[in-house]
Amino acid sequence: MKWIAATLLAALLVLLPSFAGEFYLNLSSQILIAVIFALSLNLLVGYGGMTSLGHASFLGVAAYISALLTSRYGWGHGPAAIVSILGTTVMAALFGVIALRATGLGFLMITLALSQVLWGLAYRMSDVTNGDNGIPGLTRPMPFGIPLDSPAAFYWFALIVTAFAYLMMAIFVSSSFGSSLKGVRDQPRRMAALGFNPWMIRWIAFIYAGFWGGVAGLLYVYYHKYIHPASLSTASSAEALLGVIAGGSGTLGGPVAGAALVLLLKNYASAYTDRWNILLGLVFLFIVLVMPTGIVPGIGKLVARLRGGSR
């Protein structure tokens, strides 16, 4: 059943540019960016048991570094992207050293505090970040000489990057290290007694999640061709966390479904009301009550029950 659903989804994604208009291609590109961001957060929340409210820091910092290097200092997109990812990964390593001094609610509050510091700096350092005006007039890269200005071209670019990111994170969580990460999540004391280093395992996972959060930030700034301090806000982190939990944390398909749900509700509901987040909250409440483990695990259990009943 999973293979059938995955095949149908892959066919839809490949065939989408042949029948979808510009609006739906742009919306799909936004969903793909949100999927990478949610998948990276899921490494912490679902597989590491580390609930973070500051994951937008990696998206925003990578986007700002790329924007500043290309618009202000005339760097090419290739070198700027490398420096952005390296800078974000180093920042994740430093933030991990600070945040992993605590677990549970303490970890959540530290990540929230760190992200709020960066968010405040983005507003205050107006001579660097242009403050509340943001950095406009950015351009998209041209990989292998292919311009990404058209919705279809950027969609293909985002789809390839998302597929690669999904594959790399799937390999990560299914590896022996991924098993040790889940073991530390469930039984940290027992893992320590077996000779594992729970702190180091969490730290490596934190860095890896920050790396892919930075990749999502690059795609984000390429798509919008603009960056604003709001990308570093708690709301951005909360939306991603909501998508992970609604879709099903600790699964690879859950963040995909959850990110798509959040983006669709945000785009369609906001066209009719400014209080679209209330609708999102009601949908989330419904999911928690009906499918407490998330959409993807909930549907899996429902299908299993239907199969058992038919037998």
pLDDT tens profile 142-184:
998 889 999 999 999 999 999 999 999 999 999 999 999 999 9
In a domain, 286, yes or no: no
DSSP class of residue 251 equals S
Residue 304 reports pLDDT greater than 90: no
Which residues, in sequence order, are bridge partners of residue 227? Answer: 135
In the three-class reduction of DSSP (H, G, I as helix; E, B as strand; rest coil), residue 21 is classed as coil
In a domain, 2, yes or no: no
Q: For the chain, state the CA radius of gyration.
A: 20
In a domain, 189, yes or no: yes
In 3D, which of 50, 26, 9, 66 has the Cα closest to residue 221? 66
In a domain, 253, yes or no: no
Give CA–CA dist 305/162, Å, rounded. 32
CA atoms within 13 A on the CB side of 202: 29
Query: Per residue in 48-91, pLDDT tens?
Result: 999 999 999 999 999 999 999 999 998 999 999 999 999 999 99
In a domain, 277, yes or no: no
Number of domains in the chain: 1
pLDDT band at 267 (very low <50, low <70, confident <90, very high): confident
The predicted pLDDT at position 109 comes to: 94
The residue segments making up the domain with residue 67 are 20-232
Q: Show Cβ contacts of residue 290 under 8 Å, excluding neighbours closer than 6 positions.
A: 298
Give CA–CA dist 239/34, Å, rounded. 9
In a domain, 268, yes or no: no
DSSP character string of 145-184:
G----SHHHHHHHHHHHHHHHHHHHHHHHHSHHHHHHHHH
Neighbours of 275 (CB within 10 A): 11
Higher pLDDT, 1 or 209: 209
In a domain, 293, yes or no: no
pLDDT band at 8 (very low <50, low <70, confident <90, very high): confident
The predicted pLDDT at position 280 comes to: 76
Please compute the mean of the pLDDT values over residues 120-130 and round it to a whole number.
90
Query: Tokens standing for 1?
Result: 């059943």
In a domain, 6, yes or no: no
Give CA–CA dist 234/116, Å, rounded. 7
The predicted pLDDT at position 311 comes to: 57
